[in-house]
Structure 1
């Protein structure tokens, strides 16, 4: 009887450890990239130049009907035009996470003039700082 109780206690202890560490690692994996907060603020305020400072040298952009790889200058001009025609009422981040050691992303909704757009950003870490290399805004 004592042996069964000891085995049951041991199993319960292992289960609790697995649950604790599993939840701990899941929470830490979802912590935000520090730059994301600034980028979201720039998007909400339609600050394309400030946002563009965090673009990689080449950025894959899908912006409504425009799609392709663009340099920083082109990307900033495209965003400035988009923001002018579709100023943000608000931005809501639905999910963020990592896809590798140096790659992070966020997905959310961009609200403008009673329309909702899907926003998706992927960034790579280079020299201790994140730079966007994918920036998509599509109409939902």
Structure 2
């Protein structure tokens, strides 16, 4: 009887180890969590420059977390409003995240954009020559809402 109880104890322990060791790992890294937050289309609706706060329409940026790429629609609007130069956004490209809270978006061009993302709002802050004819860098902040 004691032998059967000992054997049963070993079987229970073994089964417990098997089921707990084979659990699906649902842990998401902080970087993956930020990429998941960025994933999707964001409508850029305003820009803050040293001169003014501007309302924008017809401009969006879509992030694909699966392959860490982005696409900008309405790039001409950004350019005509002095908000984009060749050194910031391209029509599309890849990105990576860095910074202590993965709040720095590095585009394929090497340009670093500080981001703040919530469930519904994305802000992109970067430095770029502003206005276009000058070489003086200025801070520009774009605000977008999730579509």
Structure 2 length-normalised TM: 0.41
Structure showing greater radius of gyration is 2
Higher fraction of helix: 1
Structure 1 length-normalised TM: 0.42
